[in-house]
Structure 1
Amino acid sequence: MASRFCLLLVVVLFAIAESAPKIPKLGGWSEWKNADINVNAICKKLQPEVQKKLGENFSRFEALTYQTQVVAGLNYKIKVYAGVNQLVIMQVYKNLKQVYSLTYVTVIPLPNANF
């Protein structure tokens, strides 16, 4: 009887654990999410710096998706459509004073991409 109760308890606890919302591991990256107005504002703010670092002027600069990582502040990985079949990958750090800084950027050509 006790073993059946223990088995039932394990099954119930497992079901509860599986249905709980998934919280990213401390220091880990979140799932990719669709970009929102706030993420696009970050991109627009940093667009001049991105263009200067890459030596290019982009016809468009629209965030597509992003991830976040909680550190002593917040890191963002953002995929940005930059027009003419180009994808910019940028990493941005927001410190505790809410100041944004570009920490990494690269451009990837996208052959025949239609956005």
Structure 2
Amino acid sequence: MADKVDMLGGWTETKATDEIQKISNQVKDQVERFTGKNYREFEAVEYRSQLVAGLNFLIKVHVGAEDYIHLRVFQALPCNGGEVVLRGVEQNRTKKDPLVPFIN
């Protein structure tokens, strides 16, 4: 699922695919523990990726009504097990908020 980037470590343009929903679903339990909320809706609507020693993802997820969250997710390379791990969550986001790197 690696995307073409101009250079190693650069972020791709924002896009949407069905494959990113699968990654989002893999971390949903981690997101719910992190936020203390249970999400009935959990639809990945767009993402950006960054090739490092694996893949970093910034994912915008619609969680109901006008509510969105941003996820920071790391996926290890297949040769390293391919594990998908939640690295951060930004709550209280809107549909228009851009996906930008964050740390929390």
Q: Greater relative contact order: 1 or 2 (C-alpha under 8 angstroms, separation 6 or more)?
A: 2
TM-score, normalised with respect to structure 1: 0.70
Compute the TM-score of the two structures, normalised by the length of structure 2.
0.77
Match of 1:105 among 55, 73, 89: 89
Unaligned runs of 5+ in 2: 96-104
Structure 2 partner of 1:39: 20
What's the counterpart of residue 73 of structure 2?
92
Larger proportion of helix = 1
Bigger proportion of residues as strand: 2
Deviation at 1:109, TM superposition (A): 4.8
Cα shift at 1:38: 1.4
Q: What is the count of residue pairs matched by the alignment?
A: 89
User: Which structure has the larger Rg?
Assistant: 1
The amino acid of 2:91's aligned partner reads V
Matched, 1:63 2:47: no
CA shift, 1:26, in A, is 2.0
User: Equivalent residue of 2:89, what SS?
Assistant: strand
Q: What secondary structure is seen at the aligned counterpart in 1 of 2:29? A: helix
Q: Mark the runs of 5 or more structure 1 residues left unpaired by the alignment.
A: 1-21
